[in-house]
Amino acid sequence: MSELTAPALKRTCMRDHIREVLVARILDGTYPPGTQLKELVLAREFNVSQAPIREALRELEGSGLVRSERFRGTRVRGADFDEMRESYELRTMLEVRAVELAAPYKPELIADLELALQQMDAAVRARDPERYIDHALHFHRRLVAGSRNRTFLAVWDSLHWDVRGRIALRRLAESGHGLKSLVTRHRALLARLRAQDPAGAAGQVRSLLERVSSVFAPP
């Protein structure tokens, strides 16, 4: 596979930055539901072409935060917590089954997850929730990839966890519970994987994701 060219890599990094800024603005109320997001205005604000703006908006549409309508442009929907909770139910089913299919767990899978967990722990100690989220998402995607089920991985990717996961984990971090307990839960999951215990690992995955998705429970 050829490497990204420099311009393509720059555009990808800018798209990610723009997406994160837009997500933050939607969640903190800067962009309330109904706000129109104009590509040209955003391109001028971020001093970029409309291409990375369009790509960032497409990802937000995939996660349900915005809606694009012909002749009306893109408007903010806001976070639909019922839909978020339902998406976590599907994610839990996928990851539990992925853990079962991945057994027996290969040393390289364990090593990759151990490295991701070390980075998650370091991020929590540094009080850097965004870096924690990056490594936590990598941990779970690698877990799904370990199942060697390409359809599972494609479905997992299609749900835009880079956006959805950030919404959930930010809400958890802001709730006062912090992310330290999630590191402990991931460590327990990794212990079950090292012990070649699929049932125990599946239970840990379910418990962990149910804890995260609880931030979307009705008041």
- C-alpha 70/C-alpha 215 separation (Å) is 34
Residue-level pLDDT at 83: 84
Question: Tens of pLDDT along 77-126?
Answer: 876 788 889 999 999 999 999 999 999 999 999 999 999 999 999 999 99
Residue-level pLDDT at 24: 80
Residue-level pLDDT at 2: 40
- C-alpha 160/C-alpha 175 separation (Å) is 23
Q: How confident is the model at residue 4 (pLDDT cuts 50, 70, 90)?
A: very low
Residue ranges of E strands in the chain: 36-37, 66-69, 73-76
73 bridge partner residues: 69
Name all domains of the chain by residue range, CATH numbers in brackets. Answer: 6-76 (1.10.10.10), 81-216 (1.20.120.530)
- C-alpha 213/C-alpha 38 separation (Å) is 32
Question: Tens of pLDDT along 189-207?
Answer: 999 999 999 999 999 999 9
What mean pLDDT do residues 132-145 have?
95
Q: Looking at the predicted structure, is the pLDDT value of residue 151 above 80?
A: yes
Residue-level pLDDT at 26: 84
- The closest of 30, 36, 37, 27 to 78, measured between CA atoms, is 27
- CA 75, 79, 80, 86 torsion-angle sign: positive
* Average of per-residue pLDDT values in the chain: 88
Q: How confident is the model at residue 176 (pLDDT cuts 50, 70, 90)?
A: low
Q: How confident is the model at residue 47 (pLDDT cuts 50, 70, 90)?
A: very high
Q: How confident is the model at residue 7 (pLDDT cuts 50, 70, 90)?
A: low
Residue-level pLDDT at 1: 38
- C-alpha 169/C-alpha 32 separation (Å) is 21
Determine if the peptide bond prior to 104 is cis (ω within 30°). Answer: yes
What is the total residue count of the chain?
A: 219
